[in-house]
Structure formats: structure tokens, C-alpha cells
Structure 1
Amino acid sequence: MTPFMIVLGLALVFEGAQCREREVLVAEGSVAVMPCVDESSALSYPTAVYWSRRVGDVLKTVWRREKSGLEFRPVRDPPRANCPVPNFGKADYSLHIAGTTYEDGGEYFCEVEGKTRMVKVIVLRVIRASFSPAIVVEGSRTEAKCDVSPGPSYKRVNWKRNGQFISRSILSSVSQRDAGTWSCQVPHNGVVVEATASLQVNGIATPQDDSSVVYAAVGSSVSLPCLFTDGLIPNTVIWNRTSSTIHPPRPLPKSFDWALGSTASATIQGVEDGDEGMYTCSGRMKGLNGEGIKVQRRMELVVARVLSSSASSGNGPVTLTCHLSNSEQITSYEWLRVTYGPNDTQTVTSVQKAKSFRIQQVTEKDAGEWVCRYGNQEVLGNVTYHLHIMGAVRGEKSSSGNKTAMVMGLGFLFFVVFLVLFQMYRNYRRKKMIMLYPAMETIVHQATTEREQRQRSKAKMAEPCVGEPRLVCV
């Protein structure tokens, strides 16, 4: 006969001895309370309490207290099992185990010695939730398990993922949406026991899937997220762009910038009209078996801007329209008027809830900043439009600008005419001064002619006669 059977048999031969079995089901990591209460209240205080556990064919002491009050515990730092002594006065000798582990499951024995001996057998079953494998890469396979120690697994098990019930525990292609807290629920004696486990999925953590949409206004700066899981740095990262999921690649914007690392997010410093489309961030990393695994994430960039339409002439109306390159997910629009006061105080006034806003006659007070707010339950974005008087207003300020231009043009014309008239006057005065003295002009002309004749005669007398070298012509 084994030592275990001997001990159990001796416990049962005492007069009035009771042996009752009970099952306790707890989740791993919780506090297990194994009841040992004297329902008959036949025991008297002081009493001796012995808690032991069956390990193979041997009973090992877990916790005990002698009638003298001395307590004995296994050498463990810190001890996890104890009986709250203040409860002894209520004939409650239950054993509390903090931080229950999967290995704590098994048979426990409670022996209480007083006027009579009471023996109770408690079977502790511990539920553990786990994954095989526990850490996976996007696109690989894993299985959620709900194990019970000791004994076979329960058939009625419900699974929850991040608080939502799911119908499957085997994942053939893991995604980031599968990461998080998983719970297996087991009904037992009218209550539900729940064990939890965390699933870590290596890959691109943000965005979680290919349904991400990023909104940006023309001229603004926007970030396209591509964040890998903690501690994971891919070997290579590539960004590309397509106008849709089926069209060929298109060039990235000129201000597109990104850096290789766990955060491979990209930035477009100044969004331009035409930058919209599908952007793909792809990285290659090693799997658990050393094989190369490619993970990628697609996201759509939606560009928002304000379209302005007005009459070509006259004081016609101006229509402002909030235009998005893809407005399928947008459910609401609202136009806001932004004005500024002293010390840059800002006042925002709601004007109209519509995609388009019409100003019947633009005046000086309409110039300035207009904002279109668009969104849905998950998205809220703004696009700003500055209404300028020179481009769209036919009111008082525009008339003042036209008058200024007209005055400057007429002034320049008068200045040119003045210069022409002044030059004509100078020519007229010169001519008039010459005509005032005709006799003097004749005398001066005659004197000049006579002087030229005398000079020519002297030059002729000084020349030698041809054929007579010794003679000089006089």
C-alpha cells in the first residue's frame, strides 16, 4: 500500500471523521480559494489544521498550523499559500493560493483536528490560455488553446478577442487585428471562469490593415504612417504610389521623405493637387524559421481643396465648394467664417452645413478666411480658403483699386504730354531768336565768305610754277 493511501486511510478511521471531495476551477494567475469549512460547527477552538497536496503517491505539506499556534510553511520567497487565521473563529480553514500557476492544479487535502477529525479533498483545476506559437509574423498561422490542469480540456469553451466574441480559435493567416488580449471562457457550477493570454503579431502595427485613409488639404503637411512592431526593424523598406489598386505605379511627390527604421513613416511637406492616390509601405523581415517574409500596408491619401466659381463680369455671386479627391466616406460638411480681432483674437462662426456655399454679392466684409469642415464618425478634417478682393470681389474695395490705377495712368499720360510740349516750345523759341536779327546774320555770313577767299589766294601764290623750278609764281 502506498504512503498516500495509508495517510488517507488513517484519517478516515478516526471517530466522526468526514471525507468530502469538491472541485475548484480558477484561471491561471488568479487567487485560488479552496474551501474547508466546518458546516456542523462541532469543532472547538484551538484546533490544528493541515493542508497537503498529492504529488504522485506522496502527500507534501502546503501549509499547517499546530494547536499551539505555530505555523509551518514551505521555504519559498514569498510564500503564496496561507490560511487567514482570523477566519478560524468562524470555523473557516480555507486555503488561499495567490498567483495560481498552471502547475498548481491537482488534489489537495484539508485535515482539521479538534474534538473530531475532519478531512476534505479538493481538486484544483487551473485554466490556461495560450497560443502556439505565441509570437507570429503577419500572414503566418497560430492556434489559440484553452488547457486545464489536471484533466481533459472542457468542450464548452467560448473565445473573446479584445472583448468581442469570436467563433474561431485557429488563425491560418494572422493580421494585426488579431493581436491583443484573447480570453477563453469556461462555465462551471453556474459561474464563468475566464483565462486570458496576449497575442503578439510582428509586422506593421500602424496602420492595422489596408483600409486606412489619410486626409490632407492642398499646401499642408501630412504624415503617412508605417510603424513596425516594437523592436522590429525590417531589412528593407520600399514606398510606392499608384492612382488606384489596379493602375501601374506613379512617381512619388517631390517633397516625399522617409527614413528606414522601426518607424518608416513618410512625410509630404507640401501637398499638391494631384498627390492623391494609394501609397504602399512594404518591408521584408525574417520569420521564425529564418525565411524571408514580406509585409506591406496600403493607405489612401485624399487631397482636399476649395473650388471657387464666380461670374466673369459684374457683381455676380461667388460659390465655394469643398472638393475631395475621394468623398465616399465623408458624411457631413460645414462652412465656417474665421475673423480676427485685436491681439490676434480669433472668432469662428458657423455659416452653413453643406458641401457648397454661395455668396450672393461679394463685398469687402466677405474677404478673408473661410473654412470647410468635413468628416464622419472617425474622421474630422479642415480645408481653408482665403477670399481675396482683387480676384473675386466687385464691391467697394475693388472700385477703390480701379480708381487708383486710373489716376496713376492719367498722371503718367499727362507727364508724357508735358515733356513733348516743352520740347516743342524750346524749338520754337530757338527759331524765333534767330529771326529777330536778319541783317546781323547777313554781315556775319559775308565776312566769313571774304575770309575764306583771302586764305585760298595766299595758298595759290605760294605754289611753284610748273616747268620752271627756279621761278616762284607771284
Structure 2
Amino acid sequence: MNKKQFVMILGLVLVFEGARCQEHEVFVAYGSVAVLPCIDETSELSHPSSVYWSRLVENALKTVWRREKSGLEFRPVRDQPRANCPVPNFGKSDYSLHITETALEDGGKYICEVEGRIRMVKLINLRVVRASFSPAVVVEGLRTEAVCHVSPGTKSVKINWKQNGAKISRFSLSKVSQKDEGDWTCQVSYTGGAVESTTSLQVKGISTPPSDSSVVYAAVGSSVSLPCIFTDGLVPHTVSWSRPSTTSYSPLPLPASLNASAGPSASAAIQRVEEGDEGMYTCSGTVKGLNGESNKVQRRMELVVARVSRSSGSGPVTLTCHLSNSDQVTSYEWLRVNYGPNDTQTLTSVQKTVQKTLRIQKVDEEGAGEWVCRYYGKQGVLGNVTYELHLMGALKSGNLSSGNKTAMVMGLGFLFLVIFLVLFQMYRNYRRKKMIHLYPAMETIVHQAATEREQRERSRPKMAEACVGDPKPVSV
């Protein structure tokens, strides 16, 4: 309180002979209801009283609300009245002033004057607390600052900040990210209590995924979506996908089956995941800030590729679940896929452990088929990968049932029989040719006889024509 204000209040108090002057300080959050106390503690009976509420503005008193002993009430007519004294029966000892939807400009010094059985003057210092951001809507990567405004007063206060209910020490954000979005609360502590005011910070940019710690899991041969969704109302001018390398400055080539979308949802899809597609992927977009400046926002995510391998060689079959990055995996579960009527599937859990391998002692018709490796993290299921275990693969390992062994022996026996008959026929043909070459004179006689027979057959038509001759005409 400056000197002029003090002199004015002191002079006002001296006007009322025998009056009592009391000063209070009231803290209230912006937008809430402020209650300025003015209670006559000495009066237990109801007496006709006049109440005057005024406010000190630029060293001048302005009436806020007043009521005469007759019950006549006066309010300002310029603005919609937000201040009144809600006393059911005029003249009782509670003359507190209520101000609804308290604004920053409502802060300051108020004077309550009550003239009844005794004269009472009270000085109230209203201090409004408001939390805000400058700017309140910001594009990620830019700067904003949290402001806790407290109307000036006489007492010192302590200011703390909370984000989404948790206390924090920073209030200046030089590089905003999606994790900064939410409710920020300014807590003002003073002697006798504390007041909180909450405001919201809205961050424009990439909403999904919210940070660079996102991990996407996919099995080899399956399709997968890499999310990149911008906040509502923010349309990027350009969107690009890249695949940074951890060993060199040159980026890695993108998968051939990767297709990227355009617009607010710039997500990419890999139609078929192959081994070697694992690693980091970056989605980048150029957007305009609130001030018209261009800003580049991007999000990094990791693609983890999963596959199942089978042990080779004789003995039991071992299935192993491989992930390109298993840092977030806490346990593995192996399930057996069974098919019922109408191609219905049921999954039966066989093993759940921290080990990523499954040992199958004997692979028969029941053991062969589809096996699923399901891997878990702290937040639950991360993904699945399916492996088809064939019986032929089990045959190579020597784990055969008696029926399969019999079928294999019969098949091999039939194959050997066919090969034997072919070889036997080839041998007979070979012996026949060899026997003919043992008698060359006989072969010559047979060849000459065949030649002479062929010549006789050719000359027979000519001889028949010579014997018949030309036919002579016959006269009648």
C-alpha cells in the first residue's frame, strides 16, 4: 500500500467515530468465485445496517455494491453485475462480497463499510492467481513459457508448478514436445493456505507416435504399419520417410514394398516384411507455425523383426524365437494351433518362460503343424510370430512314427523295383546285339536274302505288264 492510499484509508476510518479498521488478504484462482469477507463478529443480534463496498482504483474510490438501511440496493449499470452480497435477510452480521468469474482486473484493494449498531471498516486485498502460456498453442520444437500471474499485494508468496498432477521444477520450455502437452497448474502458497490455477498447453505436430521411443513389432512375411499421424488441423506441406544408418552417414534404402500416405495421416505400410528391414525409420513433415514460420517436425521409430528358426540335425527339434531387438521383451509363450470344424482355430499354451526356445522331444502327426511364439513386455503382449513345422522336416531328423517308416520303406522298395526292371531290359537289349555280332557270316546271308526279296517285289509289276501287252481294238 503506497502513502496516498494509506492516508485515504486512514482518513476514511477516522470519519466514523469509534470505528474499527481491519485488513485481510484473499487469494483466489482465475475464473472462480471470490469471497471477500466482511463479518461483524461483535453483533449477535440483527440490527438495521447500511453496507458500502467500494474499490480503490487509481487513488479513487469507486462503488462496487451498496445497500441502505431501508433495503434499497445499488449496483453498477454499465456492465453485467458480477458482485453482490448474498445475505438472505438484510442486517445480519455477514456482509461478505461475492465476485463470480473472477478476472485479473478484479484484483486490488476493496473497502467494506458497515454502519449499524457500531461502525465497522474492513480493508480487503484481493489477489487473483492465473496460470497461462505464452503462446498457449505451439508447434513442437518451438519455444513457449509458462506464466503464473499473481495480483500485487503486501505479502510474499511461493510459486510451484505441476504438470498433470506431478510437481516439476521447470517452467520455461525452449523446445516443446508432445510430452509437454496437458494441464499445467500454478500453485501459490502463502501464510495460511495455497491457491491453484490450471491452464492447458496444446502442442501441434505429430501426435502418433508421441515420442521417439516408439517400437513396432512385425513377423517376417507379414505386413506392418508405421504410424505417423499429425494433430487435428495441422496439414504438413511435405512428408518424407527415411531410414537412418547407425554405422554410416548414408541412409539405408527403404523396403521395396513400403508405401507412404499423404495428408494428416502420413503413415507408411510395408506389405511384406523381410529379414533386413529391421532398424530405425524417420517420418518428417514441414508445417507452418502460428506466426507463419516453417518448422520441420519428425518422429523416429524402431521396427523390430521377429522370426522362428528350427534346429537341424538328428534328435529332438528345437524352435527358437528370434527378435532383432529383444530389450523390451520380458517373457515368451509358445502356443499350439489346432483347427476344428469350419476352420476354427484354438490356441493351446504349451510353455511360458523367459527362455525363447521350445524343445519338442518327438515330432509326429500331433507335434507337426503351426506353432506360435508370443512375446511379452511390461505393458503386455508385444507381438506374435507363427512357424509351420512339417513332418518331412522331422523325417530328416530321424523322428518318425512307425506308420511313416513303413510308408517310406514301401516307396523306396517300389522305386528300386522300377530301376531294376529298366536296367534288366537294357541288359537284355545289350546281350541281343552282342549275340548277333558273334556270327557275322550268318548276318551277311540274312542281309543278302532280305535284299534279293526286296528286289523281286519291286520287279514283279513290270513283268506283269510285259505279259499282258497293249490291248487290241475289236471290230463289230
When normalised by structure 2's length, the TM-score is 0.78
Query: Cα gap change, 1:382/1:369 in structure 2, threshold over 3 Å: closer, same or farther?
Result: farther
* Shift of residue 400, structure 1, vs aligned partner: 7.7
Query: Cα gap change, 1:448/1:185 in structure 2, threshold over 3 Å: closer, same or farther?
Result: closer
Aligned to 1:431: none
Aligned to 1:399: 404
Query: Cα gap change, 1:398/1:217 in structure 2, threshold over 3 Å: closer, same or farther?
Result: farther
| CA deviation map 1:100-129 (0-9, x unaligned) | 111110111222232222221110001222
Aligned to 1:280: 282
Q: Assess if the C-alpha contact under 8 Å between 2:47 and 2:92 holds in 1.
A: no
Aligned to 1:466: none
Please give the residue correspondences for 1:27-426 in structure 2 after superposition, counting only pairs within 5 Å. 27-42=29-44, 44-75=46-77, 79-86=81-88, 91-151=93-153, 156-244=158-246, 246=248, 248-311=250-313, 316-342=315-341, 344=344, 346-353=346-353, 354-378=355-379, 380-393=381-394, 394-396=399-401, 399=404, 402=407, 406=411
* Shift of residue 38, structure 1, vs aligned partner: 1.5
Query: Cα gap change, 1:170/1:452 in structure 2, threshold over 3 Å: closer, same or farther?
Result: closer
Q: Assess if the C-alpha contact under 8 Å between 2:333 and 2:349 holds in 1.
A: no
| CA deviation map 1:66-105 (0-9, x unaligned) | 4444544434886433333248786222222222111110
Aligned to 1:17: 19
Letter matched to residue 373 of structure 1? R
User: Structure 1: which 5+ residue stretches go unaligned?
Assistant: 425-444, 463-474
Query: Cα gap change, 1:450/1:342 in structure 2, threshold over 3 Å: closer, same or farther?
Result: closer
Query: Cα gap change, 1:369/1:458 in structure 2, threshold over 3 Å: closer, same or farther?
Result: closer
Greater CA drift, 378-387 or 225-234: 378-387
| CA deviation map 1:247-282 (0-9, x unaligned) | 522222233222221221222233222221111111
Q: Assess if the C-alpha contact under 8 Å between 1:207 and 1:227 holds in 2.
A: yes
Q: Assess if the C-alpha contact under 8 Å between 1:87 and 1:93 holds in 2.
A: no
Q: Assess if the C-alpha contact under 8 Å between 2:368 and 2:391 holds in 1.
A: no
Query: Cα gap change, 1:198/1:408 in structure 2, threshold over 3 Å: closer, same or farther?
Result: farther
Q: Assess if the C-alpha contact under 8 Å between 1:48 and 1:113 holds in 2.
A: yes
Greater CA drift, 380-389 or 103-112: 380-389
Query: Cα gap change, 1:7/1:324 in structure 2, threshold over 3 Å: closer, same or farther?
Result: closer
| CA deviation map 1:337-387 (0-9, x unaligned) | 343445636343252312111111112222333222223223522323243
| CA deviation map 1:272-309 (0-9, x unaligned) | 22221111111122345544322211111111122222
Aligned to 1:455: 464
Q: Assess if the C-alpha contact under 8 Å between 1:306 and 1:383 holds in 2.
A: no
* Shift of residue 319, structure 1, vs aligned partner: 1.1
* Shift of residue 166, structure 1, vs aligned partner: 2.3
Give, in whole Å, the separation in 2 of the partners of 1:336 and 1:66: 85
Give, in whole Å, the separation in 2 of the partners of 1:205 and 1:345: 36
Query: Cα gap change, 1:147/1:154 in structure 2, threshold over 3 Å: closer, same or farther?
Result: farther
Query: Cα gap change, 1:345/1:69 in structure 2, threshold over 3 Å: closer, same or farther?
Result: farther
Query: Cα gap change, 1:239/1:409 in structure 2, threshold over 3 Å: closer, same or farther?
Result: farther
Give, in whole Å, the separation in 1 of the partners of 2:166 and 2:133: 18
* Shift of residue 413, structure 1, vs aligned partner: 5.1
Query: Cα gap change, 1:456/1:172 in structure 2, threshold over 3 Å: closer, same or farther?
Result: same
When normalised by structure 1's length, the TM-score is 0.78
Q: Which secondary structure state, in structure 1, belongs to the residue aligned with residue 150 of structure 2?
A: strand
* Shift of residue 173, structure 1, vs aligned partner: 2.3
Give, in whole Å, the separation in 2 of the partners of 1:91 and 1:401: 108
Q: Which secondary structure state, in structure 1, belongs to the residue aligned with residue 158 of structure 2?
A: coil
Aligned to 2:434: none
Give, in whole Å, the separation in 2 of the partners of 1:382 and 1:402: 39
Q: Which secondary structure state, in structure 1, belongs to the residue aligned with residue 305 of structure 2?
A: strand
Letter matched to residue 91 of structure 1? S
CA RMSD of aligned residues (A): 3.8
